[in-house]
Amino acid sequence: MVKIVDEEVKAITQYILEDYGNGRAIDKMDDLFNQLDKEMIIQIIQKLLKIIYPGYYRDKSYKIYDVNNHLSLLIEDAMYNLNKQIVFVLKYEHYMADKDEAEIERAAREKTVAFFRKIPQIRSYLETDLQAAFDGDPAAYSKDEVIFAYPGMLAITVYRLAHELYLLEVPLIPRIMTEYAHDRSGIDIHPGATIGKYFFIDHGTGIVIGETTVIGDNVKIYQGVTLGALSTRGGQRLRSVKRHPTIGDNVTIYSGTSILGGDTHIGRDAVIGSNAFITKSIPEGTKVTIKGQELIYKYGNTETMQAMDLE
């Protein structure tokens, strides 16, 4: 039996090796030490969280915590590894096709430094998001609870980091970052979305925010909300086209609602009730609710219906 298995392993190995030679995208066999490392991106996120929230994600391996020394080591490590990953992804960009290795490395360094210089600004936005979560949720007993336990806060934090890399035209890495947060939180925010201050995601599971979405200040979104495109049938022809909605300041969007289309604008101070399906613009100050649904109650052989007014 062992001999049979050994022979089959050799045969199948050769069979699959031959399949690798078909020149397809999935057959890529670049030097493993000269391409993007997804696990390293995740490690960089974890280091960035320690920089963003020094009292919450601190390294427990240090018995004596010196913030100056620790931060210096943390930044040096994160910068080095991020720079290395940016070099890898820039090599595959069409606008870098005519650049030599030195030019690519210089561009990567400039983007890395520019990103880290943005961290104080990112933290200032996150402070408003934290305040919005605490003020907007009576179940939040402290800001510590929001940072430690709220999936929305994690998703927003990673998004704000990834968004700055997106603005610096760093390919691929921002998307890996937000997909990591998606996996951890159930919240899918594309790094290309533009989101203002005091952004609060309550519960969060199942939220989708598309690439060209624009969200103003003081916006609150509940679980299951989709800010998406009307159609993606155009495929790559729709790249860079405004496909997702614009949400004004002070808007609240309740659970299960879908707001679709690049021409769809939700005016400031609007309130969108649960389970709405919106593909047209809503004027400012408007309250949108679904009316006329019926609940059916059955008790033995008796059936009654009751209209449900969602206002």
Summarised one tens digit per residue, pLDDT across range 112-141 is: 999 999 999 999 999 999 999 999 999 999
3-state secondary structure of 160: helix
- Is the pLDDT reported for residue 268 higher than 70? yes
Chain centre distance of CA 144: 22
Q: Considering only residues 237 and 23, tell me which one the structure prediction assigns the higher pLDDT.
A: 23
Sign of dihedral through CA atoms 274, 216, 163, 210?
positive
The secondary structure of 236-257 as a DSSP string is GGGTTS--S-EE-TT-EE-TT-
CATH class of 193-311: mainly beta
Percent residues over pLDDT 90 in the chain:
68
Give the mean pLDDT of the chain.
90
Residue 249 near residue 219, CB atoms below 8 Å: yes
Residue 212 near residue 195, CB atoms below 8 Å: no
Cα separations in angstroms, 278 against 172, 188, 210, 258: 31, 20, 15, 6
Alpha-carbon Rg of the chain, whole angstroms? 24
- E-strand stretches of 138-290: 188-189, 194-195, 200-202, 208-209, 214-215, 220-222, 226-228, 246-247, 252-253, 258-260, 265-266, 271-272, 277-278, 287-288
- Is the pLDDT reported for residue 59 higher than 70? no
Give the Cα separation of 221 and 48 in Å (integer). 25
Percent residues over pLDDT 70 in the chain:
89
The CA dihedral of 204, 210, 216, 217, to the nearest 10 degrees, is: 30
* Mean pLDDT across 171-184: 97
- For the domain 29-188, what is the CATH code? 1.10.3130.10
- Per domain, the residue ranges of the chain are 29-188, 193-311
- Is the pLDDT reported for residue 307 higher than 70? no
Residue matched to tokens 């399949």: 19
Summarised one tens digit per residue, pLDDT across range 236-256 is: 776 778 999 999 999 999 999
